[in-house]
Amino acid sequence: MITSADALGLPGRANPLFQEGAQLPIATPIAKELDLRDGQIVQASLRLSGGQPELILKGRIINVPVLMLGSLAPTVWMKVVQTPQGGWALQPSAQPPAPALQAVTPLSAPMTPSLSQVASMPPAMLPAAYSRMANLLFRPPGPSDVSQLFRPGTLDALLKTLARPDLQAQWRGLQLSMAQLSPESISKALAGALGAEVWLARGLPANPADPKAFLRRVVQAIQTPEKGQVAALRLLQPDDDGDSVTSVTKGEQDAPSEASVFSQLQHAIDEMESAQVQAVQAQAQREILFRMTLPFVDSEPVELVFRREPRTADQLPLLTVNVHSRSERFGPVWLKTQLEGSQQIDLTMWAEKADVASAARQRASELSTQLLEAGLNMRSFKIVHGARPEAPADFVPTGRGLVVDMSA
């Protein structure tokens, strides 16, 4: 399972063109919110998300059927058109002359394509893609956005506001149970966390337990009113007369804003894509690196990092598995497992609660016996009462493998 991280790939994709002069419809409430006017030239941006082109207007996502103008530039220009039927649309436009730029309404910051579509991009798109790749590859370490989002109740509260029972069912399928944890359930979660790119590169269907794909579907549900937008946000939308609906409950008033919800979800997706980029870079450095977060229905999420560094010919392979968990009962716990060869195991555990460290010492012999029955020899088990000390980054990208022959 772990070595399948080596198979991470970037499948290609051919995209047709959005013909110049064609109009992209935009919902009337969104046009009102953005204060669009007929004939106005607006600045927007394009990106690819899960293979689907998206137009970004001031935090709003509008799906487009195909790539617009044949290129995915950080900045695009659109002309606002009011249709004869009274609706609104956006039409691709040329960049205004320099003196007119000050009158242009910028609607969004530049955005760049997602990792999974880099291989399909024409050369004109590649500079922005490389910038995105560099941001993901050298993403600084910090608190996990995925772990914050996967805490019990966080996503559940959000999904209750969406008229999407399919998303609620998919989230329940992704969550594990600490009380009924099994090797099979962990193996299934690992297979899903590898990402759709791995399975598509093998010519297989995408794994339905892919957490990144699930979060992308949640983002699309939030940003697409006709498919189930957040209830509190929908209630605050202007009505057809331009007035805001004010009959909201206190709970709806306290609901997070669309911007904060979108930001939290997007940061979690970026973290997952960063892990994928680093996994590919580690493969280029003849290493293995795989990060994932296990969500639980009855416990705090658990962070896992699988790491294998290069070894000389006379050394046995050394696989390191780091596990970080937090819970009200046990507090923060770090477990470092090193498997040398196929049988020799060394364990180091850090626990901030004294009673947890004491209980681990008392049951160390029991763990050794269970490992021996599984064909593994526990050579050492160090138990430390305290937090895990700060250590150098477990993986430092060297840049090896970043040069690509585009003519190949």
* CATH number where 374 lies: 3.30.750.140
Tell me, yes or no, whether 285 lies in a domain.
Answer: no
Are residues 192 and 262 part of one domain? yes
At which of 109, 140, 166 does a domain end?
109
Please name the residue that has the structure tokens 């320099």.
98
Tell me, yes or no, whether 117 lies in a domain.
Answer: no
Are residues 257 and 322 part of one domain? no
- Note the pLDDT of residue 138: 74
Write the single-letter amino acid at 28.
T
- Note the pLDDT of residue 380: 96
Are residues 260 and 139 part of one domain? yes
- Note the pLDDT of residue 41: 84
Tell me, yes or no, whether 89 lies in a domain.
Answer: yes
Are residues 137 and 101 part of one domain? no
Does this model's pTM top 0.75?
A: no
**Alpha carbons within 13 A on the beta-carbon side of 76:** 26
Element (H, E) at 42: strand 41-49
Bridge partners (DSSP) of residue 56 are 45, 61
Tell me, yes or no, whether 338 lies in a domain.
Answer: yes
- Helix 354-362 to helix 364-373 angle (10° resolution) is 50
Enumerate helices (H) and strands (E) in the chain, giving the number of each. Answer: 13, 15
Secondary structure (3-state) at 339: strand
Are residues 104 and 227 part of one domain? no
Please name the residue that has the structure tokens 């790939």.
9
Element (H, E) at 45: strand 41-49
Are residues 327 and 236 part of one domain? no
Tell me, yes or no, whether 354 lies in a domain.
Answer: yes
Q: How far apart are CA 279 and CA 305, in angstroms?
A: 11
Beta strands 24-26 and 41-49, pairing class:
unpaired
Q: Quick one: which of 283, 304, 301 has its CA closest to 292? A: 304
At which of 272, 295, 321 does a domain end?
272
Q: How far apart are CA 311 and CA 317, in angstroms?
A: 6
Q: How many CB atoms sit inside 10 A of residue 306's CB?
A: 20
Q: How far apart are CA 61 and CA 232, in angstroms?
A: 18
DSSP designation for 108: S
Are residues 86 and 38 part of one domain? yes
Tell me, yes or no, whether 123 lies in a domain.
Answer: no
- Note the pLDDT of residue 9: 34
Tell me, yes or no, whether 45 lies in a domain.
Answer: yes
Q: Quick one: which of 55, 58, 60, 49 has its CA closest to 18? A: 55
Q: With a cut of 50, which residues of the chain have pLDDT below it?
A: 1-20, 66-72, 99-130, 227-256, 401-408
- Note the pLDDT of residue 249: 42
Are residues 147 and 100 part of one domain? no
Number of folded domains in the chain? 3
Are residues 103 and 155 part of one domain? no
Q: How far apart are CA 8 and CA 164, in angstroms?
A: 31
Tell me, yes or no, whether 80 lies in a domain.
Answer: yes
Per the document, the length of the chain is: 408
At which of 51, 75, 109 does a domain end?
109
Are residues 154 and 229 part of one domain? yes
Secondary structure (3-state) at 132: helix
Bridge partners (DSSP) of residue 324 are 303, 334
Q: CA–CA distance from 320 to each of 189, 287, 338, 341 (Å)?
A: 19, 12, 4, 11
Q: Name all contacts of 318-323 with Cβ < 8 Å and 24+ positions apart.
A: 319/2, 319/288, 320/394, 322/394
- Note the pLDDT of residue 136: 75
Q: How far apart are CA 298 and CA 41, in angstroms?
A: 51
Q: Quick one: which of 334, 326, 283, 277 has its CA closest to 307? A: 283
Are residues 162 and 37 part of one domain? no
Are residues 143 and 99 part of one domain? no
User: Domain range for residue 315?
Assistant: 311-385
- Note the pLDDT of residue 233: 43
CB of 56 closer than 8 Å to CB of 111: yes
